[in-house]
Amino acid sequence: MSEAAELDVTPSPEPVIPVRDEDEHLNPDFIAAVEAAIGGDDRVALKELAGDLHEADTGDLLETLNADERAAFIRLLGDEFDYTALTETDEAVRLQVLEDLPNEVIAEGLEDLDSDDAVYILEDLDEDDQAAILEELPYADRAQLKKALDYPEESAGRRMQSEFIAVAPFWTVGQTIDYMREARDLPDSFYEIYVLDPAFKLLGSVHLDKILRTKRAEKVTSIMEETRQAVLATEDQEEVARRFERYNLVSSAVVDENERLVGVLTVDDIVDVIQEEAEEDLRALAGVGDEEISDTVVTIARSRLAWLVVNLGTAILASVVIALFEDTIEAMVALAVLMPIVASMGGNAGTQTMTVAVRGIATQELGARNLLRVLNREILVSAVNGVALALLIGITAWLWFASPGLGVVIAGSIIINMLFAGFSGLLIPIALDRLNVDPAIASSVFVTTVTDVVGFFAFLGIAALWFGLPF
Amino acid sequence: MSEAAELDVTPSPEPVIPVRDEDEHLNPDFIAAVEAAIGGDDRVALKELAGDLHEADTGDLLETLNADERAAFIRLLGDEFDYTALTETDEAVRLQVLEDLPNEVIAEGLEDLDSDDAVYILEDLDEDDQAAILEELPYADRAQLKKALDYPEESAGRRMQSEFIAVAPFWTVGQTIDYMREARDLPDSFYEIYVLDPAFKLLGSVHLDKILRTKRAEKVTSIMEETRQAVLATEDQEEVARRFERYNLVSSAVVDENERLVGVLTVDDIVDVIQEEAEEDLRALAGVGDEEISDTVVTIARSRLAWLVVNLGTAILASVVIALFEDTIEAMVALAVLMPIVASMGGNAGTQTMTVAVRGIATQELGARNLLRVLNREILVSAVNGVALALLIGITAWLWFASPGLGVVIAGSIIINMLFAGFSGLLIPIALDRLNVDPAIASSVFVTTVTDVVGFFAFLGIAALWFGLPF
């Protein structure tokens, strides 16, 4: 009987309406209930529904609500609103919410957060608002946040949390455990503790599971992993992300230029960086920048237009090449019908190679050591696929226009363009990278220019020569 | 004095040659030294150089060496070769290494690994080799790995590690700590322990930092976080990755269909999944599948050709549209010169919208709830940019061919094509997703078809009507 009683873990009451549906989207019924509670100014119902949500769910919920509802939501929840949720919304929503809140209220909300979350919320505000909010914070918090905001954007110093547990090298495991039981201002969650020398220099780290497995009398230094290479606070977050990923890290100490421990990075912040990085390449290749689903028409139109105008240059250049052959086309209109095929096949093949090259550079799988091997392979792949496509297209053109000559001409120009596509698809990203230009952003314009110009020039030029047409 | 002595943490000797250079690539000098040691059959030098490397560095090193060197490297290192390194190489290298090793040697190497790493290495082998290696393993390990391999590919059950620490709900924190100090077969590293009822059903989890902060006499249930929604072993790894990312998880319990704890997933396995997922979309949009930098020419050529042939269909369709207007072009060759501009601008704009849509669907930021708002925005963006580009191109065409009419015709067709691009760039991925076709793979063919066909048709058709040309 007594054991059964022990097992009786009282479950917290299940929410009546599930927060997410089967596809893990926010449940429309749940959203409707929240909106009803907001509309009816019903503090009790809203707290019941949303007071206990995970910050990520609250963030998604804020994105779904409109601006007025967001303000009312935060006002009605009052102290139960967890400002961490603002780190889970996209930037446009975050800025709108902060815009509508008085600075004292924001300051009060930030006080309870870990420093990394507070910095994340503050960093996109303009300097005046930042200063005004910092002014409202207690001295220690303010100094800590100011210091973090002094690190460059997208640096480890901006992403780290300044709360950590550090012990002296002569402490035992037992002392360390006792300290953690008594200490008050511990970070929200942590995975390792750090060992510092008297000058606050980082000596090493101890994973919590090691502490738990070790007898109380042991010295922490005996189970400590020595720090070989700590993250520098000024280091770029992408470099740090690559190291987390490569070495499967869960957290890492961050030090200043004097090797003194200043903070801790945890993998949950880094996961976002890793995903952003892969996504950045995708967006850059398509020319869409870092727009967000909640951005305005003007912001989006402007950022996309730049890319379109650059590509317009490419398109006009291709037209200039075609214009060289106006007389040729006039003499044989079938050439105008077929010429886009040559350019488009080259463009597609070039994009394939380029995508592999851009990701290879980003993940450091492609470098000087294997460049020749990969180039060799790309040329072979282009040759193989060029011949295959040339046969397919050559026969199609021959049958369509009942002209074997036209089949030969298009087949030859396809092979030429495919080779240029493979060559430029690999070498243009690499050259841009050497010149310190982001290959993801700039490559596709150049590669398309090559495949368009070579495609039209080869096809129309060979045709003019083969058929003895004017040009 | 005595305190200074306490601080004297004897550093392990620094390796003479750094493993990585400034760009964090493997240091060429280091690679050369390793190759020299392999060439000289110098076991001692090789162990000195590479015996103590992180598995990720060993993995990168294996990728750099050629096949013969890889075999010699593993043979010379002997017991000091950590098979976890094989989880850090790409698939082609891993399979080649395993091919060259006797099954008994592989089995011996796998015995020391956590089950998730062993499964990762085994899962790509063919069934005969798998069976032969499993045969060589001790019974308990074999049963555990077989069970994991029975879960579907890319499921949580394949990625989880079967080692975990579970305690009964009536245990105290003190009992739990004592148990961890005494237990032998603990996982390599862990972040939380699990509380199970007598039927092995999962009740909840306790983070290690909670255990360390809590007095010995407390019950584990009093600091336990109740499990609301555990990961199912059969669940797809991408879904699990999304949950890790959304809720900033570091580890999560995995349960079977009876809610019994069967394993633990940790974020380091999931980070790879998250990155792969974002990268998969990028590759799918460019039509390059999951090829790796070490794949052979034939593998790559074949996978890329499929995509090129599909796109050839699109290109031919566009040519058919142009062929409808052969007489029109013959009457006015300038149309042939300008027509690729209209198609290419539409293609670029369509790709922009499509990229945003595909990622929005993947990250669940785009769904039924905001579809109308986003569609509305895309149409506005297309209209704004369409008018801007139309002006630019219209004036260019007018000046180039000294024909204001040609300027008007191309401007009008650009606006039409940009609207179709925005419309199809958003709706095609969404429609494909509804039909359970991966929008990343199939969207771009359809979108390009729309922008090519509409581009050529609108431009040539409007021109024929405007100038009263034959068609």
For A29, which residue in chain B has the nearest alpha carbon?
B369
Question: Could you give the CA distance from residue B60 to residue A362 in angstroms, rounded to a whole number?
Answer: 15
Q: Which residues are within 8 A (CB) of A249 and not within 5 positions of it... i.e. 6 or more apart?
A: A243, A267, A270, B268
Q: Which domain holds residue B397?
A: 297-467
Task: Calculate mean pLDDT across residues A75-103.
Answer: 90
Quick check: A312 pLDDT over 80?
yes
Quick check: B135 pLDDT over 50?
yes
B268 contacts A304? CB cut-off 8 A: no
Q: How far is A1 from chain B (nearest CA, A)?
A: 13
Q: How far is B68 from chain A (nearest CA, A)?
A: 17
Quick check: A270 pLDDT over 70?
yes
Between A461 and A190, residue with greater pLDDT: A461
Predicted-complex ipTM score: 0.76
Is there a single domain that holds both residue B55 and residue B133? yes
pLDDT value at residue B461 = 95
Question: Could you give the CA distance from residue B323 to residue B227 in angstroms, rounded to a whole number?
Answer: 64
Copy the structure tokens of residue B208: 């290690």
Quick check: A10 pLDDT over 50?
no
User: End-to-end CA distance of chain A, in Å?
Assistant: 100
Is there a single domain that holds both residue B205 and residue B151? no
Task: Tell me the β-bridge partners of A188.
Answer: none
Question: Could you give the CA distance from residue B255 to residue B232 in angstroms, rounded to a whole number?
Answer: 5
Helices (H) and strands (E) in chain A, counts: 22, 7
CATH assignment of the domain containing A42: 1.25.60.10
Question: Could you give the CA distance from residue B196 to residue B204 in angstroms, rounded to a whole number?
Answer: 7
Alpha helices by DSSP H, listed for A51-201, are 55-64, 67-77, 91-100, 103-111, 115-122, 127-135, 139-150, 156-159, 173-182
A306 contacts chain B (CB < 8 A):
no
**Residues of chain B numbered 128-157 and touching chain A (CB < 8 Å):** none
Q: Which of A197, A268, A369 lies closest to B64 in CB terms?
A: A369
Question: Could you give the CA distance from residue B121 to residue B139 in angstroms, rounded to a whole number?
Answer: 19
Is there a single domain that holds both residue B446 and residue B399? yes
> Measuring CA to CA, which residue among B7, B88, B416 is closest to residue A246?
B88
**Residues of chain A numbered 257-296 and touching chain B (CB < 8 Å):** 266-268, 271-272, 274-275, 278-279, 281-283, 285-288, 291, 293
Q: Which of B6, B209, B326 lies closest to A337 in CB terms?
A: B326
A177 contacts chain B (CB < 8 A):
yes
Instruction: Give the pairing of strands B231-232 and A202-207.
Output: unpaired
A463 contacts chain B (CB < 8 A):
no
Q: Which residue has the tokens 């020299």?
A: B36
Tell me, yes or no, whether B224 lies in a domain: yes
pLDDT value at residue B454 = 96
Q: Which of A6, A268, A312 lies closest to B392 in CB terms?
A: A312
Confidence band (pLDDT; 50, 70, 90) for A303?
A: confident
Per-residue b or e along B68-102, where b marks 16 or more CB atoms closer than 10 Å to that residue's CB? ebbbbbbebbeeebbbbbbbbbeebbbbbbbeebe
Q: Which residues are within 8 A (CB) of B242 and not within 5 positions of it... i.e. 6 or more apart?
A: A24, B364
For A195, which residue in chain B has the nearest alpha carbon?
B7
Question: Could you give the CA distance from residue B175 to residue B169 in angstroms, rounded to a whole number?
Answer: 11
Tell me, yes or no, whether A29 lies in a domain: yes
Task: Tell me the β-bridge partners of B255.
Answer: B232, B261
Decide: B145 and B188 in contact? Cβ < 8 Å: no
Return the H-helix or E-strand segment holding B166: strand B166-167
Q: Count of A–B CB contacts within 8 Å?
A: 341
pLDDT value at residue B2 = 42
pLDDT value at residue A273 = 84
Is there a single domain that holds both residue B330 and residue B248? no
Q: DSSP labels for B7-57?
A: H--PPPPPPSS-SB-TTSSBPHHHHHHHHHHHHTT-HHHHHHHHTT--HHH
A245 contacts B272? CB cut-off 8 A: yes
Is there a single domain that holds both residue B144 and residue B171? no
B459 contacts chain A (CB < 8 A):
no
B245 contacts A311? CB cut-off 8 A: no
pLDDT tens column, B42-79: 999 999 999 889 999 999 999 888 889 999 999 999 98
Helix (H, G, I), strand (E, B) or coil at A179: helix
Between B431 and A269, residue with greater pLDDT: B431
> Measuring CA to CA, which residue among A244, A310, A234 is closest to residue A277?
A244
A341 contacts B319? CB cut-off 8 A: yes
Is there a single domain that holds both residue B142 and residue B197? no
Q: How many structural domains compose chain B? A: 3
CATH assignment of the domain containing B229: 3.10.580.10
Task: Calculate mean pLDDT across residues B147-159.
Answer: 92
Tell me, yes or no, whether B12 lies in a domain: no
A24 contacts B364? CB cut-off 8 A: yes
Decide: B328 and B460 in contact? Cβ < 8 Å: yes
CA distances from A192 to A205, A220, A231, B209 (A): 6, 12, 15, 9
Task: Tell me the β-bridge partners of A225.
Answer: A205
Return the H-helix or E-strand segment holding A221: helix A220-223
Q: Which residues are within 8 A (CB) of B146 and not within 5 positions of it... i.e. 6 or more apart?
A: B134
The whole-chain average pLDDT of chain A stands at: 88
DSSP tag of B161: B
A301 contacts B212? CB cut-off 8 A: no
% of residues, chain B, pLDDT over 70: 97
B411 contacts chain A (CB < 8 A):
no
Last residue of a domain, one of A286, A310, A339: A286
Q: Which residues of B touch A281 (CB under 8 A)?
A: 282
Q: How far is A292 from chain B (nearest CA, A)?
A: 9
Tell me, yes or no, whether A187 lies in a domain: yes
> Measuring CA to CA, which residue among A351, A353, A308, A359 is closest to residue A448?
A351
Confidence band (pLDDT; 50, 70, 90) for A226?
A: confident
Is there a single domain that holds both residue B68 and residue B151? yes
Is there a single domain that holds both residue B306 and residue B375? yes
Confidence band (pLDDT; 50, 70, 90) for B341?
A: very high
Q: Which residues of B touch A305 (CB under 8 A)?
A: 384-385, 388-389
> Measuring CA to CA, which residue among B128, B119, B122, B191 is closest to residue B156?
B119
Quick check: B9 pLDDT over 50?
no
Last residue of a domain, one of B133, B156, B179: B156
Tell me, yes or no, whether A265 lies in a domain: yes
A345 contacts B337? CB cut-off 8 A: no
pLDDT tens column, B210-225: 888 888 899 999 999 8
Q: Which residues of A touch B63 (CB under 8 A)?
A: 365
Q: Which residues of B touch A370 (CB under 8 A)?
A: 64, 293
Tell me, yes or no, whether A6 lies in a domain: no
Looking at residue B205, its amino acid is S
Copy the structure tokens of residue A124: 């996109």
Is there a single domain that holds both residue B131 and residue B186? no
Question: Could you give the CA distance from residue B230 to residue A143 in angstroms, rounded to a whole number?
Answer: 40
pLDDT value at residue A1 = 40
Confidence band (pLDDT; 50, 70, 90) for A9?
A: very low
pLDDT tens column, B381-400: 999 999 999 999 999 999 99
Decide: A444 and A312 in contact? Cβ < 8 Å: no
Instruction: Give the pairing of strands B231-232 and B251-255.
Output: parallel
Quick check: B425 pLDDT over 80?
yes
CA distances from B120 to A275, B65, B85, B110, B137 (A): 22, 22, 11, 11, 16
A247 contacts chain B (CB < 8 A):
yes
Return the H-helix or E-strand segment holding B205: strand B202-207
DSSP tag of A83: G
Q: Which residues are within 8 A (CB) of B464 and not within 5 positions of it... i.e. 6 or more apart?
A: B325, B328, B470, B471
Q: Which residues of B touch A248 (CB under 8 A)?
A: 56, 268, 271
Question: Could you give the CA distance from residue A165 to residue A115 in angstroms, rounded to a whole number?
Answer: 14
Is there a single domain that holds both residue A147 and residue A242? no
Q: What is the largest CA-CA distance in chain A?
A: 102
Q: How far is A75 from chain B (nearest CA, A)?
A: 24
Last residue of a domain, one of B156, B189, B222: B156
Is there a single domain that holds both residue B281 and residue B231? yes
Quick check: A2 pLDDT over 80?
no
Is there a single domain that holds both residue A396 and residue A280? no
Tell me, yes or no, whether A7 lies in a domain: no
Q: Which residue has the tokens 């076709």?
A: B437
Instruction: Give the pairing of strands B251-255 and A225-226.
Output: unpaired
Tell me, yes or no, whether B2 lies in a domain: no
Question: Could you give the CA distance from residue B157 to residue B161 in angstroms, rounded to a whole number?
Answer: 8
